[in-house]
Amino acid sequence: MAGEMVFTVSGPVATAAQPIGLAEAGLRERQHLQEWVIAHPQVIGEDVKIVTAEFGRWTDASGGLERDRLDLLGLDSTGQLVVVELKRDRAPDTVDMQALKYAALVSRFTRDHLAQAHAQFLTARRGEPVDPDTALAELEQWASITDEGLQQPRLVLMASQFPKTVTATVVFLNQVGLDVRLLAFQAYRTTNDVLVTVSQHYPPPEVQDFVLSPELTQARQERGERQTKQRDVSAVTRLLEADLLEPGERLEFKPPSAVLQATVEPWIQAQPNRRYAIWQADPTKPLVWEADGQSYSPTGLTRHILGDAADRTSQVQGPAYWINSDGHTLVELARSVPAGQDVPAQLHLDKLNPTLRTVFDAVDAAITNLGTDVTRRSRIKGFKYYAQRKLVDLQIHNDHLSVYIRGLDAHAPGLPAIIVGGTHLYSHAQVRPLADLTSLKPLLKQAYRRASA
């Protein structure tokens, strides 16, 4: 790059490296440059996952196949597609138009197209068949895939140099709201090796928020906020559906970065209950912060803590900051079980001794007989009962049943002794002898009336 100097050093001796082209170094575009980017996708963005390479299965208006091949297609953590065009040497004057054509073709992708393309890519890379469903699941673990993200790809052009006409075109495209970046690389020959440096040519990283159009900057921010909310909802939904956390379970705030952890630690130690939140079965605000007793989404509470403790207000993936007693983050827990997975009911029923089985049958009948619309599902940690919305969670223990009754305030006066915990959103009843059913039935009827209202 212009103005860049690279040295190899040995003590007080510094030896200038010689700038060379990739062709001079015997390096090729597809076999080398493309493979570097696949192995190190952070080159084109810190949060990019490679979807496919050398993709050329485009269909034209007549149904025939186009011959053009897209070098690389990525997916960033906000769910936006990234079209990558690579040139081994100086970019031609038409590289910007070529990339725009690929972006237009990619913008017609559906989730099925994406799954097929990624499956073919993974099959070729891993040497064993990968089906589209598995490929799509891997992509969805990386980002929430939406129509907006698929229809509005961003572009990355990478070459050793760019003509002024290309740079001018990219400046204009950014000003009118299209996200296009230019990355420049330079190879150097040293005594023993060939080195390659990569830097962002446009927009300049340190001033990109000032040179980009206000519309593009705002769109990026709004898209990031929407994707953060979607990731929160996705993780929480999976956790609730799979019963991977029990209501009342305590979670600990732990930033994934050791540096950030050290920054917030003094603030947390000043009031130790700032470190903890209690899980509750609320799909939008499942965390009750011990510091103030208020309910939050994982990302909302994380941003609140980081804002006060570290003066940071940037977008974060909140579920990645909260761990259970085993040290697993909410993200890891959500990914461990596919959403909506049922298990055979017999797996739970086999845990019951003869006495408790009698109690279970009575409780199960009391719930299902509340109305003809009541249904039961067998999930990872127990049974779920639904009317118009979720009614009861039932979990089996060695000597009792835990019945979590939705919509019944655990702090309401006059509740029977079988209520041992809960929040304003649910009550936790422990049922042991059959006689406890006398206290349980009125509570179930009350919850059913509210659920059906």
The tokens for 128 are 């064993």
Helix (H, G, I), strand (E, B) or coil at 318: helix
Asked if 153 and 236 sit in the same domain, the reply is no
Same domain as 206, residue 98: yes
- Whether 340 is in a domain gets the answer no
Number of structural domains the chain divides into? 3
Peptide bond into 286 cis (omega under 30): no
Query: For residue 124, is it within any domain?
Result: yes
Residues 420 and 290 in one domain: no
Q: Indicate whether 137 and 19 sit together in one domain.
A: yes
Mark whether 269 and 367 lie in a shared domain: no
Query: What is the average pLDDT value for the chain, to the nearest integer?
Result: 84
Residue 80: pLDDT band with limits 50, 70, 90: confident
Predicted TM-score (pTM) of this structure: 0.52
Same domain, 41 and 111: yes
**Domain check: are 194 and 282 in the same one?**
no
160 and 228 belong to one structural domain = no
- Domain of 401, CATH number, reads 3.90.1150
Q: 278 has which bridge partners?
A: 250, 288
Same domain, 296 and 415: no
Percentage of residues of the chain with pLDDT beyond 70: 87
**pLDDT tens for residues 130-175?**
888 888 878 877 777 776 668 889 999 999 899 999 999 998 888 8
The reply to whether 326 falls in a domain is yes
- Confidence label for 271 from pLDDT (cuts 50, 70 and 90): very high
- Does a structural domain hold residue 218? no
Q: Are 68 and 58 in contact (CB under 8 A)?
A: yes
Does residue 108 sit in the same domain as residue 22?
yes
* Average pLDDT of span 2-20: 85
Which range marks the domain in which residue 394 is found?
345-452
Contacts of 6-10 with CB under 8 Å at 24 or more apart are 6/188, 6/195, 6/197, 8/190, 8/191
Residues 204-211: contacts with CB under 8 Å, at least 24 apart: 211/171, 211/174
Is residue 55 one of the residues assigned to a domain? yes
DSSP per-residue codes, 354-413: HHHHHHHHHHHHHHHTT-TT-EEEEETTEEEEESSSEEEEEEE-SS-EEEEEET--TTST
The arrangement of strands across the sheet holding 322-323 comes to 295-296, 287-289, 276-279, 250-253, 322-323
**Residue 32 lies inside a defined structural domain of this protein:** yes
User: Residue with structure tokens 């007793």?
Assistant: 293
- What 109-112 contacts at long range (C-beta under 8 Å, 24+ apart), as own/partner pairs, is 109/81, 109/150, 110/150, 111/136, 111/145, 111/150
Instruction: Tell me how far the alpha carbon of residue 448 is from its chain's centroid.
Output: 35
Helix and strand numbers (H, E) in the chain are 14, 22
Least confident of 76-80, 117-121, 163-167, 433-437: 76-80
Residue 42 pLDDT exceeds 60: yes
Q: Are 11 and 118 within one domain? A: yes
Q: Per-residue pLDDT for 220 more than 60?
A: no
Distances from the Cα of 374 to the Cα of 178, 243, 343, 431, angstroms: 51, 19, 19, 20
Give residue-wise pLDDT tens across range 340-398. Answer: 457 788 888 988 999 999 999 999 999 999 999 999 988 877 898 988 778 999 999 98
Instruction: State the average pLDDT over residues 226-255.
Output: 72
Q: Is 105 left (phi over 0), alpha (psi -120 to 50) or beta?
A: alpha
CATH number for the domain that contains residue 19 = 3.40.1350.10
Same domain, 24 and 170: yes
